[in-house]
Structure 1
Amino acid sequence: MEIVLTKAFGFLFMIGVGFGLKRGGLFSQKDTDLLSRLVMKITLPMVIISNFRTLSLDVSFLTDIALGFITNLMAISLVLLLTRKKQPSERAFFIINASGYNIGLCTLPFMQSFFAPDAVAVVCMFDVGNAIMVFGITFTIATLITKGKDNVSVKEIFKTLFSSMPFVAYLVMISLCSLKIQLPNIVFDLATMMGQANTFLAMILIGIMFEPKMKKSVLKDMGSVFVLRLVIACVFSFLIYHYLPGPLLHRQILSIIVFSPILSIAPIYTERCGYDRSAAAVLNSLMLPFSLIIMTILLIVLKLY
């Protein structure tokens, strides 16, 4: 227990350092663009590549990919039902922020510090299905609601999806594994070296993005999304742990990662759909430490570390 609490505190400490550096004037919100590019386009793809070093695909991984897709789709379906009487921009806010998981910037580096690569691969496979949704389909659904189908093209959807380097990295590595093509060891060595910076950069970035300011007019919607995400996560976690076929460790990891925080680019998508970006930014900032705390508690309760 002491080890898991120390590591969890370390993550929160790094987030606090990032926030403190921003408040001290060393960094600003403008710096998040550079840092997010470093993480999303370099260090995170390198982590994904390095995790495939000893990985061999089996049927269980196909289940993980499908689960990442289905959990998002079910959450969106529930949101569409519950928000059917709200304004289009409000519905888009709920769709974008009540579904989707920030696996790359938060959950992956968090779980990577506790588990071996073969166990972390479960997280990666879940994120493949998750990435298909959050980087393409989810935003498309939100845009259709707010702007109408005439303003969304197939070309735009594919451009959004394939501009995501983590998604491309997953796609390439899964394809290579399926074809039983093994990359040279030097590629994995370099990927491992570069990927080691991912955890620190990701946590510092999240700390810089933390925004405690909020408008009273959007507090109700923020509270509703917060509660809705928690309820959905609890239901998914229970069903996965007790009813999903597969090894116990497999089910335990999946039952934890459904508590992952909101996607880091949710504020950008929210603004594009005509809703207050600050509401999504504050909600994102609050959900992150909350999610880390829940995942840490689950690690202890399930005796995984």
Structure 2
Amino acid sequence: MDIAVKALSLVAVIVIGNLIKRLGWVSTQDFGAFAKIVLRITLPCALITSFNDYDMPVSLLGLALAGILVNLVLQVAGFLLEARHGRRSQAFAVLNLPSFNMGAFATPYLAGFMGPATVVHASLFDAGNAIAAAGYGYAWGTGRADESRRTTTTSFLRTISSSVIFDVYLVLIGMQLMDLRFPAAVITFTSTVGAAITFLAMLMIGIGLEIRLERSQYRQAARYLAVRYLLCAAMATVVWQLPIPDEHRLLLVIVLFAPIAAMSPGFTAEIGSDVQLSTLMTSISILVGIVAMPLLVLLLG
């Protein structure tokens, strides 16, 4: 019950964000500023705080690899899906078809249903998820969005390194492998700032969300989400057959139905693409996650 209330509270914050936009307190043009705050300040601080609190078993790095692979499947699917519609459509699909909202959604769900030990496993998957979505996926998407620029290895690597989230994850993973920790004073600061991530990310989605869209945008959202969930269902079927520990198998199947990460609309704003479509997809995926994830626990757990 507590998990359901928490999930519904995320929806409530999205509603608040949309409401204050309609009241004129903020405008759609403010979305970019909120995205910068979320992607470059609060989310990095939240990551630093969470990584400082646990040890990363090297033996479980396969979960991080899984996070990379499932995102890659969705990214390639998005790229091919929009092959006939131009580079900018491909950029949107690469940024919005993949990614999974772990920290603000899936991880609390999993901890509530499967116990606190699951937090470490979910965080390892999220490390791969971030490398894929905020690393090479970000570089791939932004590279396709710039129609005047020819993508080279150098420009690709430069774009990856410009992703603050990706850089933070690399540093944190390196520190984990070397068993290094941040001083308590640093964590006091990052925990204060990072505590705002869930509220700000959901508020940002609400500000960008527009219910009254063109019919073509609704069709696009349905098309993208249908592809995402069909592929995730196929990958979940494959995962369920793998000879891996039961708790890892169940975790991977469940997170495949987690919502689209809140950073996706932020990245969409950075490339000047359709933020309204992105936030609509993210909001719908949250509603799907609220229903699908506990249902999978009941059916498979």
Post-superposition CA distance 1:155-186 (Å, at most 9, x none) = 43334323333322221121112112233334
Match of 2:234 in 1: 235
Match of 1:254 in 2: 252
CA contact (8 A) 1:132 1:161 kept: no
Match of 1:63 in 2: 62
Post-superposition CA distance 1:239-263 (Å, at most 9, x none) = 33442523x3333332222223334
- Cα distance in 1 for partners of 2:109, 2:9 equals 10
- Cα distance in 2 for partners of 1:56, 1:106 equals 21
- Cα distance in 2 for partners of 1:265, 1:59 equals 27
Following TM superposition, by how much is the alpha carbon of 1:229 offset from its aligned partner in structure 2, in angstroms? 0.7
Q: TM-score, normalised by structure 2?
A: 0.80
Following TM superposition, by how much is the alpha carbon of 1:219 offset from its aligned partner in structure 2, in angstroms? 4.2
Greater shift in the superposed pair: 210-219 or 135-144? 135-144
Residues 161 and 125 of structure 1, relative CA distance in 2, 3 Å threshold: farther
CA contact (8 A) 2:107 2:122 kept: yes
CA contact (8 A) 2:269 2:275 kept: yes
Post-superposition CA distance 1:211-241 (Å, at most 9, x none) = 2132223444332211111111222233334
- The share of aligned pairs that are identical, in percent, is 26
Letter in structure 2 aligned against 1:120: V
Letter in structure 1 aligned against 2:293: M
Residues 33 and 123 of structure 1, relative CA distance in 2, 3 Å threshold: farther
Q: Note the 1:1-305 alignment, pairs <5 A.
A: 2-79=1-78, 89-103=88-102, 106-107=105-106, 118-141=117-140, 151-243=150-242, 245-246=244-245, 248-264=246-262, 266=264, 278-301=276-299
Gaps spanning 5+ residues in structure 2: where?
A: none
- Cα distance in 1 for partners of 2:93, 2:109 equals 26
Superposition CA RMSD, Å: 3.5
Gaps spanning 5+ residues in structure 1: where?
A: none
- Cα distance in 1 for partners of 2:297, 2:52 equals 25
CA contact (8 A) 1:99 1:229 kept: yes
Letter in structure 1 aligned against 2:247: L
- Cα distance in 1 for partners of 2:43, 2:140 equals 27
Residues 233 and 194 of structure 1, relative CA distance in 2, 3 Å threshold: same
- Cα distance in 1 for partners of 2:198, 2:139 equals 30
- Cα distance in 2 for partners of 1:97, 1:229 equals 10
Letter in structure 2 aligned against 1:19: N
- How many residues are treated as equivalent by the alignment? 301
Greater shift in the superposed pair: 223-232 or 24-33? 24-33
